[in-house]
Amino acid sequence: MACRGLLLGLLAVTCFIALASAESALQDFCVADLTSPVIVNGFVCKDPKLVEANDFFFTGLQIPGNTSNAFGSSLTPVTVSQLPGVNTLGIALGRFDYAPGGVIPPHTHPRATEIFTVIEGTIEAGFVTSNPANQLFKKVLQKGDVFVFPQGLVHFHRNVGQGHAAALVGFNSQNPGLIIIPPNVFGSEPLIPTEVLTKSFQVSNSVVAEIESKF
């Protein structure tokens, strides 16, 4: 009896793993139904009979983003939220724009590696490793240069040229996620306890308060 129970348990575990990580697509596509109230890991599929060409179409990536903000930069994402046809396909795209001196602050994509290419200007880009700990890999990139940010690692970009700069990026997830470290750590709702931040960054309450006031 105990053995039979164990076997059933193992089968259940195997079954769950198979469902959770189907390696290959089981259908041509699963266009995201962004309005469905059903919560799954990702988005449920729109009825294939209702799918149309526009579900696989996005326009506007030729338009520079608005960089009139504190960071002097902007991101135009083309992920499952903007392009429902990429649901379950494990890809997404984006465009970055930078005013002179503009930065994309240190950030991470929890679910994707990013491949990055400069289409205009000169951009310094880098990421910091976890193993070995805290090693910076950084390059100055010109138009046509390509750099890769491995999944989950904290990275940044900065326009180091004279004029506007822009880059196109690809992700190996339809929903890469974006955690921008400064507002994530200093602008959460509610705030991380001040005692945690003063101790962690080895600064005073007033320094933490000043940074928090920016976000």
Query: Interface with ligand NAG by CB under 6 A: which residues?
Result: 66, 68
* E strand or H helix that includes residue 74: strand 73-78
Residues 6+ apart with CB under 8 A from 210: none
The strand order across the sheet containing 114-120 reads: 73-78, 92-98, 165-171, 114-120, 146-149
Helices 194-201 and 205-213 sit at what angle, rounded to 10 degrees? 110
Q: Give bridge partners of residue 137 from the DSSP assignment.
A: 127
Residue 92 C-beta: closest distance to ligand NAG, Å: 24
Specify the DSSP class assigned to residue 209: H
Rounded to whole angstroms, the Cα distance separating 207 from 213 reads 10
Q: Tokens 């990139």 appear where?
A: 141
Residue 70 C-beta: closest distance to ligand NAG, Å: 10
Amino acid identity at 108: T
Residue 159 C-beta: closest distance to ligand NAG, Å: 17
Q: Which is nearer to ligand NAG, 36 or 66 (CB)?
A: 66
Residue 102 C-beta: closest distance to ligand NAG, Å: 13
Q: Which is nearer to ligand NAG, 68 or 206 (CB)?
A: 68
Which single residue brings its beta carbon nearest to ligand NAG? Answer: 66
Q: Which is nearer to ligand NAG, 66 or 135 (CB)?
A: 66
Residue 71 C-beta: closest distance to ligand NAG, Å: 12
Residue 204 C-beta: closest distance to ligand NAG, Å: 32
Among residues 62, 132, 136, the alpha carbon closest in space to that of 93 is found at 62
Q: Which is nearer to ligand NAG, 68 or 213 (CB)?
A: 68
Q: Which is nearer to ligand NAG, 66 or 194 (CB)?
A: 66
Q: Which is nearer to ligand NAG, 65 or 106 (CB)?
A: 65
